Structure 1
């Protein structure tokens, strides 16, 4: 059995998307990914892939992924997020031996509360001294 190709979803910035495209191109024949018109065709190009989705459920076509897992078009999937959450009890994903499911907890770590506290304190101090551009995890 060959080494699996890991496909890890996360929030894609243009740089990350470009890097991901380059990484996939290393594993595929020239232009194959560009010619894939459907998610199923994309999965067929990556039979050794293990898809890990820790981003958002809608990043992946869940129905296409289910079919790819059922027909073993890809090696497997690790899913922390789903199109509908919580994952419905009748979802085929529950019964697939090549899918590992977690309850939307990829962002949790033993030090999460500590890290949040540090970010909040740091951002408060930065905001209080009118240095808004220096805020950590700034959204606006």
Structure 2
């Protein structure tokens, strides 16, 4: 896992992170990044940077589908195992603890195991969409990932 911690989340920091990924990833590999729809990922400096780096491929997840964003699962793990324990007394201490946690994760990776089938997940989402929209026109095919 390649990580970077920034106090702000602007396009300039994202481009710095892309440059870091570019430096730390072997030259012969294509890089596919799954990103949310945050405006930072679509800013002009990113759109201008991407054509000069053709091995980078950004894939945006659909709006309101945070369950597809595996970094959310990673953040939940950090929260559960580290942040809720409340052992850090400063931002700097938290940043150092996060970096140590990420280094440990890289040395001892643990796969994420889905506990539901795709059909169960889509059924849950479809039921949720019916509930929030009170609509009969939603279907699993409309929710599925392209």
Same fold by TM-score greater than 0.5: no
Larger helix percent: 2
Larger strand percent: 1
Q: TM-score, normalised by structure 2?
A: 0.30
Q: TM-score, normalised by structure 1?
A: 0.31
